[in-house]
């Protein structure tokens, strides 16, 4: 049973801006609702107003431009992302992360923007967006602004959005030429599960090595580890660099013990997954 609420379904972003200006503090937005209604059912939140974004045509825009890259509107579902060849071929790390999130039925409703706005430390798409240097297009009464994804998450379930603001879309620039990537998720079961640890890695192995790594479920926010990038800035034997990267990750993260895993196991697995990710993306065993 879900507590009672008033429901709005605006048709334009202007209407949405007005609704948020009026009810922002007491309102929650949703597209898929796969996080929101679970939280409401469990009485973890009791918003007075619930605003459905699916009526706003503009927010469903999903486009790719050779120069500007990918733009994913707020109501674009994860399955729509997964069906896109561009995402699969050019943004492999995101494609892999989207496919690891929950299960196909959830992904049929759940959205990328919803996943990051929920701001769980375990958000599966967040590490991928972090290594892709995504940007978040935000709008509200005060106008529009862009938040780099690295500044978007500020705490457990907290973002830098103001109550009267909403996310219009996520923009992702083209990754460096030759980049390969993947999201390595560790769950307790293969069927729908939250990440015990998740590692997104992006690797360029032509000429100069470029490596970016970000993780889920090991910090109060999804976390990119720039120290890993520094390791690969200098030349050196690959195996040694990977081990240094593993150490960098394990030093940087600060996981907790909860019902899903102990802190120690999370640290261990962050290392194992980082090593496996980098070895695989560099074409080793």
Binding mask 88-117 for another protein (x = CB under 8 A): ---------------x--------------
CA–CA distance, 216 with 127 (Å, rounded to integer)? 6
Tokens encoding 171: 């923009």
Stretch of 46-54, 201-209, 214-222, 268-276 contacting another protein, by CB under 8 A: 268-276
Regarding 7 and contact with another protein (CB under 8 A), the answer is no
Q: How many CB atoms lie within 10 A of CB 22?
A: 14
CB of 200 vs another protein, minimal distance in Å: 18
67 touching another protein, by CB under 8 A:
no
In angstroms, give the least distance from the CB of 141 to another protein: 34
Cβ-contact 161, 138 below 8 angstroms:
yes
Contact indicator for 217, 122 with CB cutoff of 8 Å:
yes
Q: Which is nearer to another protein, 100 or 223 (CB)?
A: 100
**Residue 210: what are its φ and ψ, rounded to 5°?**
-120, 130
**How many residues touch another protein (CB under 8 A)?**
21
Torsion angles phi and psi, residue 203, rounded to 5: -135, 135
Q: In whole angstroms, how close is the CB of 4 to another protein at the nearest point? A: 7
- Within residues 193-222, the interface with another protein by CB under 8 A covers 193-194
In whole angstroms, give the CA distance from residue 269 to residue 196.
9
Does position 163 bind another protein by CB under 8 A?
no
Of the candidates 87, 92, 159, 88, the one whose C-alpha atom is nearest the C-alpha of residue 123 is: 159
Identity of the residue, 67 or 190, whose beta carbon is nearer to another protein in the bound complex:
190
Nearer to another protein, 125 or 261 (CB): 261
Are 24 and 48 in contact, with CB atoms under 8 Å apart? Answer: no
Region of 1-9, 26-34, 137-145, 205-213 interacting with another protein (CB under 8 A):
1-9
Main-chain phi, psi angles of 278, to 5 degrees: -70, -40
- Which region, judged by CB under 8 A, interacts with another protein, from 55-63, 152-160, 242-250, 262-270? 262-270
State the nearest-atom distance from the C-beta of 271 to another protein, in Å: 9
Select from 59-67, 93-101, 158-166, 191-199 the region that touches another protein (CB under 8 A): 191-199
Among 5, 37, 265, 282, binds another protein (CB under 8 A): 265
Nearest partner of 218 among 181, 268, 167, judged by Cα: 268
Name the DSSP class of 31.
S
Q: What share of the chain is helix, strand, coil (3-state, %, to 5)?
A: 40, 25, 35
- Give yes or no for residue 44 binding another protein (CB under 8 A): no
- Residue 194: φ, ψ to 5°: -80, 155
Applying CB under 8 A, the residues found at the interface with another protein are 1, 3-4, 103, 186, 188-194, 259-262, 265, 268-269, 272, 285
């Amino acid at each position: 049973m879900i507590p009672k609420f008033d429901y709005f379904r605006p048709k334009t972003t202007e209407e949405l801006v007005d609704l948020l200006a009026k009810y922002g503090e007491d309102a929650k937005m949703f597209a898929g609702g796969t996080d929101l209604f679970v939280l409401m059912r469990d009485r973890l939140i009791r918003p007075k107003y619930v605003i459905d974004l699916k009526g706003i045509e503009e927010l469903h825009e999903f486009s790719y431009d050779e120069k500007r890259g990918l733009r994913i509107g707020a109501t674009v579902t994860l399955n729509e992302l997964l069906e896109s060849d561009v995402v699969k071929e050019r943004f492999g790390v995101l494609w892999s992360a989207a496919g690891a999130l929950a299960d196909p039925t959830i992904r049929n409703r759940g959205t990328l923007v919803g996943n990051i706005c929920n701001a769980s430390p375990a958000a599966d798409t967040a590490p991928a967006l972090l290594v892709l240097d995504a940007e978040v297009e935000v709008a509200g009464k005060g106008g529009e602004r862009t938040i780099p994804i690295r500044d978007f998450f500020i705490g457990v379930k907290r973002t830098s959005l103001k109550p009267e603001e909403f996310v219009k879309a996520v923009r992702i620039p083209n990754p460096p030429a030759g980049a390969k990537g993947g999201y390595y998720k560790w769950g307790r079961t293969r069927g729908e599960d939250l990440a015990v640890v998740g590692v997104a890695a992006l690797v360029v192995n032509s000429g100069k090595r470029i490596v970016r790594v970000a993780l889920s479920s090991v910090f109060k926010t999804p976390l990119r580890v720039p120290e890993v990038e520094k390791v690969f800035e200098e030349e050196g034997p690959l195996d040694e660099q990977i081990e240094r990267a593993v150490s960098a990750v394990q030093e940087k993260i600060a996981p907790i013990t909860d019902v899903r895993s102990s802190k120690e196991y999370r640290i261990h697995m962050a290392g194992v997954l980082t090593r496996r990710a980098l070895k695989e993306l560099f074409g080793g065993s």
